[in-house]
Copies of this chain bind each other. A is one copy, B any other.
């Protein structure tokens, strides 16, 4: 019995926006596709609670945190989980279950790509 050529049943879903998508905002007008991808990332950070959770994960020791570490933002744990899911869907966080808890980690390539979007070229002030 051979188990080569078996298609993997569950392919890990790549983060929606993990790849750098776009030139700096000041370089040229974005295409519709570029704008879709970049707007998804900005939108994910466009909520105060989500932004606090994101900075809590990003600044936590070792660059990762579980829900148990970051629940002091004044909302219920289901709400925290909901927002963390949104950040994951936007490709800004990755997650891994270990025992009881799910650990979240910032996806550095995405943050770097977003930082690049906002970088000014040499011509700009």
A residues sitting closer than 8 Å to B (CB atoms) are 25-32, 35-36, 38-40, 42-52, 54-56, 58-59, 63, 70, 73-74, 106, 108, 111-112, 114-115, 118-120, 124-125
Contact = CB atoms under 8 A, between A and B. Distances in A.
A28 B47 CA distance: 18
Copies in the complex: 2
B52 A46 contact: no
A118 B115 contact: yes
B52 A111 contact: no
A57 to B, nearest CB: 9
Given A46-B42, A48-B36, A25 B55 contact: yes
Please provide the 7 A-B residue pairs with the shortest distance between their CB atoms, ordered closest to farther.
Answer: A43-B46, A115-B118, A42-B45, A35-B48, A42-B46, A46-B46, A29-B56
Contact of A111 (B29, B48, B63, B120): B120
Given A26-B106, A32-B48, A42-B46, 9 more contacts: A25-B59, A25-B111, A26-B55, A27-B55, A29-B52, A30-B55, A32-B52, A39-B50, A108-B120
A114 B118 contact: yes
Given A43-B46, A118-B115, A51 B35 contact: yes
